[in-house]
Structure 1
Amino acid sequence: MKTSTFVLLTLLFVMSTVYAGEGMVNVESMFSVENTANRMENILKEKGMTIFNRINHSQSAGKIGIELRDTQLIIFGNPKAGSPLMKCQQSIGIDLPQKALIWKDENNKVWISYNNPRYLEKRHEISDCEKAIAKVENVLANITKSAAGK
């Protein structure tokens, strides 16, 4: 029963997620960029993730006279998730730590975007690592869903 409920909820989340470009997952947020980024950062910390940096791209662009819609990047990770992936295929380290881009589009919708772990699996030709990939995939989906208010 628990398994079927989990599978159903995962499918519903995936169906409400927009895939844009190869390897990207975009999840619409109900909040502003700032609030979404704050929520994301707080959830990541609660889950034991390390926040390596938070970059306000639009603020940085403004310093050189370029106007960007609100855009922030959170760089985060946890060796418990990343190290098993690197053990499977060390080259995935180029894509770690994980990143989440929180941004406002031209229609004033706010999105959380991140690299799809299944894309990274293909990109780095990872095999025999299903458990680690699935774990990262589920953790990212759940954290993003919570930060987006879904």
Structure 2
Amino acid sequence: MFAKVDFARGAATMDETLRPTTVVIFGSPKIGSTALQEGQTMALYLPLRIQFFEDASGQTWASYEDPTVVAPSHGLAASNAAVQKMQAALLGFSTIATGS
């Protein structure tokens, strides 16, 4: 994990309230570098990031850009090994964090 951005905490510093909303930024330089060798503009989506947020009923959700959807517009096939590893990492991390 490279960074965690806690939007609710930031809102609190301005006397505002916000349900839990956090973006986690993470990745593997080895996987990212491999992908960028073939599609350098994919760097716009790296490192990987997931938004976790709590809805009004208290359920936690995860949201992210699917690299297999984004990659082809950057010259990488959705089946590219690095892209597949990115997708697996995003899915795995979001599943663990949300419990679903």
- TM-score, normalising length: structure 1: 0.59
Shift of residue 148 of structure 1? 2.4
Shift of residue 130 of structure 1? 1.8
Query: Percent sequence identity over matched residues?
Result: 26
Distance (whole Å) between structure 2 residues aligned to residue 80 and residue 109 of structure 1: 34
Confirm or deny: 8 A CA contact 1:85 1:129 kept in the other structure: no
SS in 2 for 1:115: coil
Structure number with higher relative contact order (C-alpha < 8 Å, ≥ 6 residues apart): 1
Cα 1:125–1:66 shift into 2, 3 Å: farther
What are the equivalent positions in structure 2 for 1:52-91 lying under 5 Å apart? 52-91=2-41
Task: List per-residue Cα deviations over 1:40-87 (Å, max 9, x = no partner).
Answer: xxxxxxxxxxx2211110110121132211111111111122111111
- TM-score, normalising length: structure 2: 0.83
Distance (whole Å) between structure 2 residues aligned to residue 147 and residue 111 of structure 1: 9
Contiguous gaps of at least 5 residues in structure 1? 1-50
Aligned CA RMSD, in angstroms, stands at: 1.9
Cα 1:123–1:106 shift into 2, 3 Å: farther
Cα 1:65–1:55 shift into 2, 3 Å: same
1:145 aligned partner: 95
Distance (whole Å) between structure 2 residues aligned to residue 126 and residue 73 of structure 1: 25
Confirm or deny: 8 A CA contact 1:88 1:128 kept in the other structure: no
Shift of residue 129 of structure 1? 6.0
Q: Kindly indicate whether residue 66 of structure 2 is the aligned counterpart of residue 124 of structure 1.
A: no
Contiguous gaps of at least 5 residues in structure 2? none
